[in-house]
C-alpha cells in the first residue's frame, strides 16, 4: 500500500482529519521519507528525538535505523494512534509540548542524540532556537520547514533572505538545505512548498565572543530596521555614533552598510569592540 492510501486509511479508521491548530500536514511520499533517513545520517548508535510524529510515518522509518526513537507529540489523538500502530519496539512516546519537555535529562543520559522532525510551520523558529540556545549536547537537527524559512536560515550575507535568524543559527551550527519538498507531497497539501534543512551542531561557536548577550542584541537591533544603515541601527544599542564610527573605521567597514551586508565575523568583531575589550 502506498503512503497516501495508508494515511487516508488511518485517518478514516480513527475518524480524524489533519488538525489545523497543530499545523498538521502528513507526508505521503515514501521517497522523501527515505531521503530524510539517508541524509540525516542516523545509525544504530543514535537516539533520535522526533518532534510532532503525527501518524508515525517518519517514526517507523527512523526506528529501523536508530538505537531508539523518542517521539514527542502534543495531539492526544495522534498519541493514541502512535501507541496502537506497530511502529517498532524501540520507540518511546511522550505526550507533551516539546517546549515544555525536559530535553536536557533525555540528551544528557545518551551519548549520541539527533533531532529529526517534520515541524509545524507556526512554531518552527521557536523550536529551532530553543534547541540551539539551550546548548544541548546534540549532534544534529534535521527538520522539515517552510521553504521560505529554510532559505532564510541557510542564506548568505547580501541576500534578501539573510537576517537575524541566519546569523543566530550559524553561530551554533552549520546549516544547509538538503531536500526540496513541493507541497503536493503532503496530505492535506499546505499553501507553500517545504524543504528539509540539516543543522550540524558545532562543538564550539564559530566566533569567539567577549559578551554573547551583547552579540545577539546587536544582531537583533541591526536587523530590526533593515533599511537603516548600521551606523543608525546599531546606535540604538546605547552606543554613541562617535564610538561606532571609530569601531567601523578600525574594522574597515563602511558606515553606509546595512545589517544584511555583514557576516557573522563582522557582527562578532563589532560586538567585541563595543564591549570595550578589543579597542
| pLDDT tens-digit readout, 82-103 | 999 999 999 999 999 999 999 9
Name the one residue in this structure whose C-alpha cell is 549536547: 137
Q: Is the pLDDT of residue 215 over 50?
A: yes
Q: Say which CATH number the domain at 225 has.
A: 1.10.8.100
Q: Which three cell numbers stand for residue 267?
A: 557582527
The pLDDT value given to residue 226? 82
Tell whether 207 is covered by a domain.
no
Q: Which of 201, 228, 252 is the last residue of a domain?
A: 201
Same domain for 251 and 135: no
Tell whether 216 is covered by a domain.
yes
Tell whether 279 is covered by a domain.
no
Same domain for 122 and 148: yes
pTM given for the model? 0.94
Q: Which of 148, 177, 201 is the last residue of a domain?
A: 201
Beta strands in the chain (DSSP E): 26-27, 47-51, 68-73, 91-95, 113-118, 140-146, 173-181, 186-187, 194-201
Same domain for 130 and 44: yes
Number of domains in the chain: 2
Q: Which of 144, 172, 201 is the last residue of a domain?
A: 201
Same domain for 142 and 30: yes
Same domain for 128 and 34: yes
Q: Is the pLDDT of residue 278 over 60?
A: no
Tell whether 96 is covered by a domain.
yes
Same domain for 87 and 218: no
With beta carbons less than 8 A apart as the criterion, state whether 222 and 170 touch. no
Same domain for 170 and 193: yes
Its domain, for residue 122, covers 3-201
Amino acid at each position: 500500500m502506498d503512503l497516501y492510501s495508508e494515511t487516508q486509511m488511518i485517518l478514516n479508521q480513527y475518524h480524524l482529519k489533519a488538525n489545523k491548530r497543530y499545523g498538521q500536514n502528513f507526508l505521503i511520499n515514501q521517497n522523501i521519507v527515505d531521503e530524510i533517513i539517508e541524509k540525516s545520517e542516523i545509525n544504530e548508535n543514535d537516539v533520535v528525538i522526533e518532534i510532532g510524529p503525527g501518524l508515525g510515518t517518519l517514526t517507523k522509518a527512523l526506528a529501523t535505523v536508530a538505537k531508539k526513537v523518542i517521539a514527542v507529540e502534543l495531539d492526544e489523538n495522534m498519541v493514541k494512534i502512535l501507541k496502537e500502530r506497530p511502529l517498532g519496539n524501540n520507540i518511546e512516546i511522550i505526550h507533551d509540548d516539546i517546549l515544555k519537555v525536559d530535553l536536557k535529562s533525555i540528551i544528557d543520559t545518551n551519548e549520541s542524540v539527533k533531532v529529526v522532525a517534520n515541524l509545524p510551520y507556526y512554531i518552527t523558529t521557536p523550536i529551532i532556537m530553543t534547541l540551539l540556545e539551550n546548548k544541548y549536547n546534540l549532534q544534529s537537527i534535521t527538520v522539515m520547514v517552510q521553504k521560505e524559512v529554510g532559505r532564510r536560515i541557510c542564506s548568505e550575507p547580501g541576500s534578501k533572505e539573510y537576517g537575524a535568524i541566519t546569523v543566530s543559527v550559524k553561530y551554533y551550527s552549520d546549516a544547509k538545505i538538503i531536500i526540496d519538498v513541493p507541497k503536493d507531497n503532503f496530505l492535506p497539501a499546505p499553501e507553500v512548498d517545504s524543504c528539509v534543512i540539516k543543522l550540524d551542531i558545532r562543538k564550539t561557536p564559530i566566533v569567539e565572543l567577549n559578551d554573547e548577550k551583547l552579540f545577539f542584541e546587536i544582531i537583533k537591533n541591526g536587523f530590526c530596521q533593515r533599511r537603516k544603515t548600521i551606523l543608525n541601527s546599531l546606535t540604538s544599542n546605547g552606543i554613541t555614533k562617535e564610538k561606532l564610527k571609530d569601531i567601523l573605521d578600525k574594522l574597515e567597514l563602511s558606515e553606509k552598510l546595512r545589517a544584511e551586508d555583514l557576516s557573522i565575523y563582522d557582527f562578532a568583531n563589532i560586538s567585541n569592540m563595543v564591549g570595550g575589550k578589543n579597542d
